[in-house]
Each structure stands twice: as C-alpha cells, then as structure tokens.
Amino acid sequence: MKFKSILLGMALAVALTACKPKDADIEKEIITKISSMPDVGVSVKDGVATISGICKDEALRQNAENTVKGVKGVKSVINNCVIPVQEPVATPIEINPDTALNTSINEVVKSYKGVNASVKDGVVTLTGEIKRNQLGSLIKSVQELKPKKVENKLTIK
C-alpha cells in the first residue's frame, strides 16, 4: 500500500509538471499577441516574461504589459519598454517685412510727439525725444509689431 501511494504521488508530480506550459510555448503565444506592436519584444524564463523595446507612449507600454499578463503560464512581467523623449518643436519667430513694419511703426509713433522711427532690414530705430512715463508703452507697442530688433536712440526728457 505504501509503495502504491509513493508511486501515485510520483505520477501526480510528473503529470503536473508535464501540464505546465513551457517557456518557449509561452513566449511564442506572447509574440503572436504583441505582433501589432512593432518595436516591442519579449523573452520568457521560468514563467517570468521580460518585455523590451521602444513604446511610443505610456498607453502602448501599459497595453503591452497587460497583454503579456493575460497569457496562460506567465507568473510575472518585467516591463523594460522605453518611451523616447520627444523634444518640443520651436515655433518660428514671425518678423514683419519692412514695408508692413514701416506702416505699422508710423501709426504707433505718430501718437508720441517728438519721436521718429525708421525701419531697415527689420530693425526699428527710434530717435527724437520722449517723456520718461511714455517710454515703456512706446517700446511695448513697437515690440508687439515683431521687428527683428529695436534700437532705442531716444533722449528722455
């Protein structure tokens, strides 16, 4: 009776071990499921799946992990997917052409007595006399017209 119990226990242990999915089979199933994720790969060892590669964003990274977790035989998941850092694109500075800029500058300057302005190659040169309390608003108004540069040669009264 004792011998039969031992033999039965060994047969049960072998049967359980044989039913367990092999790492290669698990890996093959995962690769099939993540085939729509081009830069993502996986390897499996002892039921632990390691995901590697490049994911365009966190949502794709999480989706890959959830997909792998859902495969039978996966005990745990190590997600080593990298999300590339995206550099912000600088918006180009808009510079008004001289003719449009000259017209706009003359409109601004005519409300300041004693102030003259000239435009050459996008650079505005302010000359003449101005009161100290008017200088800030004049410079601000000129800057809003987006010249390349403002040269202030004004004399403050």
| pLDDT at residue 21, rounded to an integer | 74
Model confidence over 6-16: pLDDT tens digits?
655 565 555 55
CATH number at residue 44: 3.30.1340.30
pLDDT of residue 65: 92
Do 106 and 149 have their domain in common? yes
72 in the same domain as 117: no
Residue 76 pLDDT grade (very low, low, confident, very high; cuts 50, 70, 90): very high
Is the per-residue pLDDT at 122 higher than 90?
Answer: no
In angstroms, the Cα distances linking 57 to 41, 65, 68, 80, 86 are 16, 13, 17, 13, 10
Spell out the residues 6+ positions from residue 32 whose beta carbon is closer than 8 angstroms to its own: none
What are the angstrom distances between the C-alpha of 123 and each of 13, 126, 152?
87, 10, 11
Kindly report the number of other CB atoms within 10 A of residue 71's CB atom.
21
Query: Would 29 be classed as within a structural domain?
Result: yes
> 13 in a domain, yes or no?
no
Residues 6 or more apart whose Cβ sits within 8 Å of residue 99: none
- What average pLDDT score do residues 133-148 get? 89
Say yes or no: 62 and 112 in one domain. Answer: no
Range of the domain at 107: 98-156
Whether 103 and 151 share a structural domain: yes
With respect to residue 140, please indicate whether it lies within any of the assigned structural domains: yes
Q: How confident is the model at residue 19 (pLDDT cuts 50, 70, 90)?
A: low
Higher per-residue pLDDT: 90 or 103: 103
The pLDDT value recorded for residue 10 is: 61
Angle, CA 113 vertex, CA 108 and CA 119 arms, to 5°: 45
Say if 7 falls within a structural domain: no
Same domain, 67 and 106: no
Q: Which amino acid is at 65?
A: E
Q: Is residue 34 part of a domain?
A: yes
Q: Are residues 102 and 140 in the same domain?
A: yes
Classify the phi-psi angles of 18: left when phi > 0, otherwise alpha if psi is within -120 to 50, otherwise beta: alpha
Is residue 8 situated within a structural domain?
no
Q: What is the mean pLDDT of residues 108-114?
A: 89
> Of 44, 79, 114, which closes a domain?
79
Count of domains forming the chain: 2
Q: Which two tokens stand for residue 121?
A: 């190659």
- For residue 71, being part of any structural domain is answered with yes
Q: What pLDDT digit, counting tens, does each position of 33-72 carry?
A: 988 888 899 999 999 999 999 988 999 999 999 999 999 9
Q: Label the pairing between strands 115-120 and 123-130.
A: antiparallel
